[in-house]
Structure 1
Amino acid sequence: MKNIFTLPLLRILRFYFVCSLGLCLFLGCGDIEDKETEATEPFNSIVTPNLPVDSLQETEPILLRVKSIYKQLTSREMHIPLNWETEKDPVLRAAYTRFLLSRGKIDIPPNWHETTDPILHAEYERAQLIRQFGDIPQVHIRADFHLLSPLGVKTVTRETFIAYFEAQYFLFPNEVNRRALEDAKKPEPIGGLELDKLRKEDPEAWAKRYRAQLIAELGDTPQVKVVADFIRKLELGLPRTDAECHTFLQAYSQMRGLAAKQEFIFPLDEEYAFLEAQDQLKIKVNELTRLRLTQFRKAKAEGIPFHLMDRIDDNA
Structure 2
Amino acid sequence: MQRTLSSVRLIYLLSLTILYLFMGCGNTEDTGVSSPIAYNYDLSEADIYNLNIDELLALDVPADWHKTEDPELRAEYFAAQMLQQFGSTPAAQIVAAYERKRSLGISVTFDETIAVAKARYQLWPNASNRQYLEKLLKIKLKEETDDPDLFAKIYREQLIEQHGDIPEVHIVVAYEKKLRQENGHFTEDEILAAYEAKYVLWPNKTVLRQLEKYRKAKAEGTPFHLIDWDDDI
TM-score, normalising length: structure 2 = 0.45
Query: More helix per residue: 1 or 2?
Result: 2
Higher RCO (C-alpha 8 Å, min separation 6): 1
Q: TM-score, normalised by structure 1?
A: 0.35
Specify the structure having the higher radius of gyration (Cα).
2
